[in-house]
Amino acid sequence: MKCTINRRAQFSASHRYWLPELDAAENQRIFGACSRFPGHGHNYVLYVSLAGDLDKYGMVENLSVVKQVIKQEVTSQLNYAYLNDAWSEEFKQTLPTTENIARVIWQKLAPHLPLVNIQLFEHPELWADYQGNNMEATLTVKTHFSAAHRLAIPSLSFEENQEIYGKCARPNGHGHNYHLEVTVAGEIDSRTGMLVDLGALQNAIDEYVVEPFDHTFLNKDIAYFAEVVPTAENIAVRIADLLRSPISQLGAELHKIKLIESPNNSCEINCRSIKSATEKVSQQTAMVSS
């Protein structure tokens, strides 16, 4: 029986984004505050995912062995270290960005463990995943906005809507503190170590989603939701459509949208499997209305 297991580890380290062939102004333009001397630090959290058949002891891998391998190959070398120097050969050509650190950790562990994914959190709102695909990785940014909505199909009566949506159909609506995870995919640049310009990505998310959606009543303030019911699922697919083109212009591909409506409810959209989520939602709404 195939099974996937995950082992958590952590280390604290500092790094600096700086290319010696560029002057200070150009490094500042590309890397922003991350180019400052002598660098900055993070409490990194690492998840190592392994897969395989269960052995006669009921394990994919002996976790004591896994723990020792991770410590020997990664954490003992990186904990309380300056990454640019700790793995100077690995980060001489390609800078120690979150996505590139994840890639190098894979290279360190792959000879010893049956890896399927390396997930590295730089902090709770930024992390990278790497699965051994050359220079390809994913990068996730987490943000939030607050908004109100009402779940009701305009063409149906209150009683009909209440039968479908329950309390969420009440006339005056209700609100949520939404948490949004935007995952992009692309190639890690062989020099900068960046999959995408992180500042530009965060600006795009703010411009197209957070600022327009924050502190609104979605049904009334966002034209799209005048006819489309703003369920968490429909909000997520709308966000996917809003971000797909701006992220493409940054040289990356929108990979996944995860919208957390509450601690009990969340949804995910695989953005590589759909071309136009909004078009599909509009068609479904038309079918229900008719």
Instruction: Give domain limits for the chain.
Output: 1-132, 134-290
260-289 pLDDT, tens digit per residue, is 999 999 999 999 866 544 555 545 544 444
Which pLDDT belongs to residue 290? 39
Cα 44 to Cα 40, 78, 97, 186: the distances in Å are 12, 10, 12, 22
Catalytic residue among 112, 168, 227, 267: 168
pLDDT in tens, 92-114: 999 999 999 999 999 999 999 99
Chain-centre distance for alpha carbon 192: 20
Whether 125 is catalytic is no
Q: Is the pLDDT of residue 55 over 60?
A: yes
Does residue 58 carry a pLDDT above 70? yes
34 is catalytic: no
How many angstroms separate the CA atoms of 257 and 237, rounded?
8
Active-site option among 34, 42, 261, 271: 261
Give me the mean pLDDT over the 217-221 stretch.
Answer: 98
Percent above pLDDT 90 for the chain: 92
- Spot the catalytic one: 40, 144, 174, 215: 215
Q: For domain 134-290, give the fold.
A: Tetrahydropterin Synthase; Chain A (3.30.479)
The neighbour count for residue 23, using CB atoms within 10 Å, is 10
Q: Is pLDDT of 183 > 50?
A: yes
3-state secondary structure the chain: CEEEEEEEEEEEEEECCCCCCCCHHHHHHHHHHHHCCCCEEEEEEEEEEEEEECCCCCCCCCHHHHHHHHHHHHHHHHCCEEHHHHCCCHHHHCCCCHHHHHHHHHHHHCCCCCEEEEEEEEECCEEEEECCCCCEEEEEEEEEEEEEECCCCCCCCHHHHHHHHHHHHCCCCEEEEEEEEEEEEEECCCCCCCCCCHHHHHHHHHHHHHHHHCCEEHHHHCHHHHCCCCCHHHHHHHHHHHHHHHHHHCCCEEEEEEEEEECCEEEEEECCCCCCHHHHHHHHHHHHHC
Same fold, 1-132 and 134-290: yes
Give me the mean pLDDT over the 241-248 stretch: 98
CATH classification number, 1-132, choose in 3.30.479.10, 3.30.450.20, 3.30.720.210, 3.30.9.10: 3.30.479.10
Lookup: tokens for 25 = 């102004």
In this prediction the pTM is 0.92
